[in-house]
Amino acid sequence: MSAWITGVEGTEAASTVALILALMAALLHAVFGALQKGRHDPLLARGTIDAFYALIAMPFALFVVPWPEPHMWPIFAGAFVIHVLYKWATLAAYRRGAYTVVYPVMRGTGPLFAIIGAYLLFGETFAPMQWMGVGVLLAGLYGLAAYNLVHVTVDRDRLVPALAFAVLTGLFVALYTTYDAYGIRATADPFTFLAWFFFIDGLLFPFIALRFYRRLADPPPLGPLMARGLFGAFVAFASFGSIMLATRLDSVGEAAVLRETSTVFAALIGWLFLGERVGPRRLALMGLIAAGAVIVEFGG
């Protein structure tokens, strides 16, 4: 697989493969977000998922993929810090706001800053039509935020902090997208980066979640929580792996924006599985975010 990925790099097929991977990442990330926001406290869900994907990644990191080059260890350290802050902001948003309220904001905020980061790090530029797509995406994003501020009545006292943490999460999304794209391009084998990333990234939050679990007056049964964690680990592998490979094969900015079609998937998941009302106006605004992502992809 590694040989095929590196062989495709720089060819005409790379853009097509990156497009498919980014769309796959969009769907899977919406599922991943719902797993954290579902029946268990987001910290418990996150800690359990991290524990499973660290345990699964460990033998691959130690015994299967080539070992990282020496210059990769500072890169992994930076990625660890960025993702810890990203998870903290995500959990703070999920604990304060409904999934269909905070998810589109946290995902929609990231692309603009990812585009700026891709320009600074990789020299990537956007065509005028692509910038129009960014404008459409941001119109949907801020229109959705304004609609929620006016119309959402559930947990009204926590709505503004929820949206603030969602925007902060979007900033960390942009930061980790560009930083991790740099990391996966810095090693000869992309799967070396992925295996070691998941192994290292999953080492902290399981202990934080375990401490939280032990302090609960009525802790949830471990069986369903473990099942959610195992399933979430495989979703995380597929989602994060897909978007990172997409950023190695093609434009970081385009992949980051196209992934935000996940807002449409999030609306469907929130409605079908979490019992959250979406409504035609919010669905239209989420669709505007996704439309902006599509314009960016095909306007280059």
| Stronger pLDDT, 68 or 269, i.e. the higher one | 68
Domain span at residue 13 reads: 2-298
Q: What is the pLDDT of residue 155?
A: 62
Report the percent of the chain where pLDDT is more than 70. Answer: 91
Provide the pLDDT for residue 209: 96
Q: What is the pLDDT of residue 153?
A: 56
- Highest-scoring range by mean pLDDT, 47-61, 86-100, 155-169, 173-187: 47-61
Tens of pLDDT, residue by residue over 145-176, are: 777 777 765 566 677 888 889 889 988 988 88
How much is the pLDDT for 230?
95
The total number of structural domains in the chain stands at 1
Question: How far is CA 104 from its chain centroid?
Answer: 11
Q: What is the mean pLDDT of residues 174-185?
A: 89
Q: What mean pLDDT is reported for the chain?
A: 84
Q: What is the mean pLDDT of residues 127-146?
A: 81
- Cβ-based neighbour number of residue 205 at 10 Å: 24
- Mean pLDDT comparison of 2-6, 231-235, 246-250, 256-260, highest-scoring range: 231-235
Q: What pLDDT, on the 0 to 100 scale, is given for residue 8? A: 66
Tell me the percentage of the chain whose pLDDT exceeds 90: 37
Are the C-beta atoms of residues 214 and 153 closer than 8 Å to each other?
no
Please write down the HEC assignment for all residues of the chain. Answer: CHHHHHHHCCCCHHHHHHHHHHHHHHHHHHHHHHHHHCCCCHHHHHHHHHHHHHHHHHHHHHHHCCCCCCCHHHHHHHHHHHHHHHHHHHHHHHHHCCHHHHHHHHHHHHHHHHHHHHHHHHCCCCCHHHHHHHHHHHHHHHHHHHHHHHHCCCCHHHHHHHHHHHHHHHHHHHHHHHHHHHHHHCCCCHHHHHHHHHHHHCCCHHHHHHHHHHHCCCCCCHHHHHHHHHHHHHHHHHHHHHHHHHHHHCCHHHHHHHHHHHHHHHHHHHHHCCCCCCHHHHHHHHHHHHHHHHHHHHCC
| pLDDT for 139 | 85
Region 1-7: mean pLDDT is 67
Task: Say yes or no to pLDDT of 225 above 60.
Answer: yes
pLDDT computed for residue 156 by the predictor:
64
Provide the pLDDT for residue 34. 80
- Mean pLDDT within 198-223: 94
Does residue 20 surpass a pLDDT of 90? no
**278-289 residue pLDDT tens:** 678 877 887 787
Lowest mean per-residue pLDDT among 57-71, 128-142, 242-256, 263-277:
263-277
pLDDT exceeds 70 at position 2 = no
Give the mean pLDDT of 27-42.
80
Are 265 and 233 in contact by the 8 Å Cβ rule? The answer is: no
